[in-house]
Chain A
């Protein structure tokens, strides 16, 4: 109890003031949502069928995108952290590109590759009759594209922080690289994987730009919560606030529920 108190006395005002302003800046818009929410009509608005459809689609696609990211991203993170190969720095830089890329640009890029006339998309279309734009699979793809870097970075960080001597010990005892990975490395970095997956899921849940560009907007098929919020805002601000509130609640609940368990320890 005494140590934090002593520390607080030493915080210079020049830091405390901008820090407080920063916090206010982040929290105030969320408070605005709560203040302006139409609480009296909330139950009726929540019961509207479109709301639950969009919410379910959002939860399903974000979860599917996270599974895809874990399946592909964990091996990628392992490769970056444990294997020396030429151009590794370049690969690491490439992995983080979707982080800084505006999501709309990601959507356009996805269209150019997986679209009906895209590099891979035209082949998929003619060979298998598969067309990804405007499908739920397209939503998952768009979300995975923007969310995967979060997972890769988190897992790679965990791998770098993990003591390699355990893996070396396993190797000297005769375990192959695959056995070492599944039996030693993976359990060791499980908290990191979980933290990365949560971040990845949250990012996928909030995805807007790449989704509307690549997957379009159709209720029940590609209209996720963020898209529903945006379109509701065109005509019915109250409805948009309600949808935003739901999305906020879900995100905060998931992050708060998992934080102490995994994210904090990573």
Chain B
């Protein structure tokens, strides 16, 4: 417990000091319109795409620095409502975003950035011949799911219920990357994760299943009310929602939102 708490506390302190130095930096630089430091809290499943989008943004806006904090959306939402100094929040589900908007921590209405769907992640070559959700309930097949508290866990539960499949997972991981890691390490035979996570992992294959259409997750993004750099935050959100930004996200396996 202590290690995690200390880590969370340190992350908070680090983020705070970053925000403080960010403010100081903005004073030094007269071009601070969209300059300075943008602190983005993003869902774990956005790790690869937002890292790339952050670099693109920095390249397009010289003198800026995008600081990314990836974790389970619910943990991030809790951190934000507890006062963590972030400029932008990108969540993996509307429910986790609601935590932030209900607390009055969002500036404006969240926009749906992309959508994501669950797949079954299996080791390359699918050694257990998993063809659908029903195969995960077979005896001897070890499965990792996300905990219900995080969006990928909620989606997994919805999909399993839609398929009428009951299974006892080996573990309920605290975020989607945790579930993914357990398949990569070979400790479980399969995990329910996002399509984008499997596409980013060369050693895994994705098994698509029809029930995942019932558990599509919208990814909302919003500028936060207490943003230290609101102009930079808006510019970053515009950047990821631009056609170029959306292209990066769809290339990774995300689906464009219905209105695009």
List residues of chain A with CB under 8 Å of any chain B CB. Answer: 102-104, 111, 115-117, 133-134, 206-209, 212, 215-219, 222-223, 225-226, 229-235, 237, 244, 247
Contacts and interface: CB of A to CB of B under 8 A. Distances in A.
B75 interface: yes
**Which 5 residue pairs across A and B have the least CB separation, nearest first?**
A216-B171, A226-B1, A234-B74, A234-B149, A134-B170
Given A134-B170, A219-B172, A231-B172, 12 more contacts: A216-B144, A217-B147, A217-B171, A217-B172, A218-B169, A218-B170, A223-B172, A226-B4, A230-B1, A231-B149, A234-B174, A237-B82
B154 to A, nearest CB: 10
A212 B1 contact: no
A206 B187 contact: no
Nearest to B168: A218
B174 A231 contact: yes
B2 A206 contact: yes
B172 A218 contact: yes
A32 B98 CA distance: 26
Given A216-B170, A216-B172, A237-B78, A230 B3 contact: no
Contacts of B185: 111, 115, 117
A106 to B, nearest CB: 10
Interface in B126-185: 142, 144, 147, 149-150, 169-174, 178, 182, 185
B149 A209 contact: no
A222 B171 CA distance: 8
B166 to A, nearest CB: 15
Given A134-B142, A134-B171, A235-B149, A115 B3 contact: no
B110 interface: no
B85 interface: no
Interface size bracket, B side:
20 to 34
B187 A209 contact: no
Contacts of A133: 170, 187
A103 B150 CA distance: 23
B1 A225 contact: yes
B78 A233 contact: yes
Contacts of B83: none
Contact of A233 (B75, B170, B182): B75
A209 B4 CA distance: 7
Contacts of A237: 78, 82
Interface of B: 1-4, 72, 74-75, 78, 82, 99, 142, 144, 147, 149-150, 169-174, 178, 182, 185-188
Contacts of B82: 237
A117 B1 contact: no
**Highest count of chain A CB atoms <10 Å: which of B72, B99, B147, B182:** B147
Nearest to B179: A216
A237 B103 CA distance: 13
A218 B150 CA distance: 14
Contact of B174 (A116, A212, A215): A212
A217 B173 contact: yes
Given A216-B144, A217-B147, A218-B169, A102 B74 contact: no
Nearest to A103: B3
A225 B172 CA distance: 15
A234 B171 contact: no
B4 A134 contact: no
B250 to A, nearest CB: 28
Contacts of B3: 102-104, 208-209
17 contacts: A111-B187, A117-B185, A134-B170, A206-B2, A207-B1, A208-B4, A209-B4, A216-B171, A216-B173, A217-B147, A226-B1, A226-B4, A229-B1, A233-B75, A234-B72, A235-B74, A247-B1
B98 to A, nearest CB: 11
Contacts of A235: 74, 78, 99, 149
